Amino acid sequence: MKLSILVPFLFACLTTVVTASENITDTDLPADLETRSVLNGGCTGAGGAPGVCIHTGSCTNSGGTFITGACPSTPDDVKCCTKPKCGTGGNCRWTSQCGSGVTQAGLCPGPTNFKCCLPGSGGGGGGSGGQPSTTALKILNKAKEAKGIPYVWAGGSCSGATGSPRKGFDCSGLVSWAVCQVTGRNLFSEGLRVTYEMYCASDARRKYKKIPYAQRRAGDAVYFGGNNCNCANPKDVHHVGLMLDSGTRMWNALQTGTNVREDNFAGWSGRNKPCPYVIRYA
DSSP assigned state of 44: E
Closest C-alpha among 272, 53, 275, 243 to residue 141: 243
What is Dmax (Cα atoms) for the chain? 57
Distances (CA, A) of 267 to 12, 94, 163, 259: 20, 6, 32, 22
Identify any residues that bridge with 116 across adjacent strands, giving them in sequence order: 92, 104
Residue among 80, 35, 36 at smallest CA distance from 55: 80
Residue 256 pLDDT: 94
What was the pLDDT predicted at 122?
36
3-state secondary structure of 7: coil
CA 253 remoteness from chain centre: 9
The distance from CA 74 to its chain's CA centroid, rounded to whole angstroms, is 22
For residue 126, what are the CA distances in angstroms to 85, 123, 166, 208, 251? Answer: 15, 6, 37, 22, 16
Q: What is the dihedral of CA 99, 100, 106, 111, to 10 degrees?
A: 20
CA dihedral 151, 153, 159, 160 (to 10 degrees): 0
Give buried/exposed letters for 65-82 (b at 16+ CB in 10 A, else e): bbbeebbeebeeebbbbb
Could you state, in order of their start, the residue ranges of all structural domains in the chain?
Answer: 26-33+128-280, 45-117
Three-state DSSP at 144 gives helix
Residue 49 burial class via C-beta count within 10 angstroms: exposed 0-12, middle 13-18, buried 19 and up: buried
144 phi/psi in degrees, rounded to 5 = -65, -25
CATH of 26-33+128-280, one of 3.40.50.970, 3.40.50.11540, 3.90.1720.10, 3.40.50.450: 3.90.1720.10
Identity of the amino acid at 174: L
Cβ 249 vs Cβ 264: under 8 Å:
yes
CB 213 within 8 A of CB 275: yes
Q: Which residues contact 75 (CB under 8 A, 6 or more apart)?
A: 39
| pLDDT tens digit at each of 282 positions of the chain | 333 333 444 445 655 444 333 333 322 233 333 345 789 988 877 766 788 999 999 999 999 999 998 888 889 999 999 998 888 878 898 887 776 678 888 899 999 999 988 876 433 344 445 566 789 999 999 999 999 999 999 999 999 999 999 999 999 999 999 999 999 999 999 999 999 999 999 988 999 999 989 889 999 999 999 999 999 999 999 999 999 988 899 999 999 999 999 999 988 989 999 999 999 987
Contact 178, 142 (CB under 8 A): yes
User: Radius of gyration of the chain from Cα atoms?
Assistant: 18
Closest CA to 241 of 228, 254, 258, 255: 254
